[in-house]
């Protein structure tokens, strides 16, 4: 695992995934007893045709205009689910910003830096990894930008 190889302090948290949950991220926060502002969802979008990963709090939504601006682009749209899964190697609801099949440009919402740790998918539904947001930014080569809108 990337985090072990890079000697990054982290904790893995497992919970029972409900396939009928309306929001995988909100379910993770609730199941783990974590503030939804500290639990982040990983979304795949396109900016001017290029795949981009966006990481925003599960309590909010992705502001596509802000994402485009953060990447210096004009237009952002959500990627087709099959394309997101193919590019990352993960299933929807389990896409992690770490260890993707093909490393995609990543933008983290600035709010991720507000706490000592952040929870992101560990690569499958029902599994989250908690780590220092600065480590996540470094490992993904991410840009920090205000890309979340209130849910």
Give the tens place of pLDDT for each residue, 90-101. 998 899 999 999
pLDDT digits (tens, 9 = 90+) for 133-143: 999 999 999 99
| Average pLDDT estimate for 52-69 | 96
If you search the block for the tokens 């849910």, which residue do you land on? Answer: 151
pLDDT digits (tens, 9 = 90+) for 102-134: 889 999 999 999 999 999 999 988 899 999 999
Residue 70 has pLDDT above 80, yes or no: yes
Distances from the Cα of 57 to the Cαs of 20, 32, 54, 102, in angstroms?
A: 21, 15, 10, 23
Burial class (CB within 10 angstroms; exposed 0-12, middle 13-18, buried 19+) of 117: middle
CA distance 58 to 66: 17
pTM above 0.85, yes or no: yes
Residue 1: the pLDDT is 66
Closest C-alpha among 113, 101, 10 to residue 57: 113
Question: Which pLDDT band, with edges at 50, 70 and 90, does 34 fall under?
Answer: very high
Residue 7: the pLDDT is 85
Domain span at 137? 2-150
> Who has greater pLDDT, 103 or 3?
103
Residue 151 has pLDDT above 80, yes or no: no
Sign of CA dihedral 48, 52, 56, 58: positive
Rounded to 10 degrees, what is the CA torsion of 26, 28, 30, 36? -50
| Average pLDDT estimate for 1-12 | 81
121: left (phi over 0), alpha (psi -120 to 50) or beta: beta
CA 70 to chain centre: 16
The CATH number assigned to the domain holding 38 equals: 3.90.960.10
Domain total for the chain? 1
């Amino acid at each position: 695992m990337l985090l072990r190889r890079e000697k990054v302090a982290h904790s893995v948290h497992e919970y029972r995934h409900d396939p009928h949950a309306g929001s995988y991220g909100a379910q993770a926060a609730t199941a783990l007893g974590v503030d939804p502002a500290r639990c982040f969802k990983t979304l795949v979008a396109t900016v001017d045709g290029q795949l981009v990963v966006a990481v925003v709090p599960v309590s909010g939504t992705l502001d596509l205009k802000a994402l485009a601006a953060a990447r210096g682009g004009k237009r952002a749209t959500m990627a087709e689910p099959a394309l997101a899964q193919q590019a990352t190697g993960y299933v929807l609801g389990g896409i992690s910003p770490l260890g993707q099949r093909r490393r995609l440009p990543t933008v983290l919402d600035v709010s991720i830096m507000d706490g000592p740790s952040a929870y992101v998918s560990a690569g499958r539904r029902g599994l989250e990894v908690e780590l220092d947001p600065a480590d996540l930014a470094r490992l993904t080569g991410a840009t920090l930008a205000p890309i979340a809108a209130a849910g």
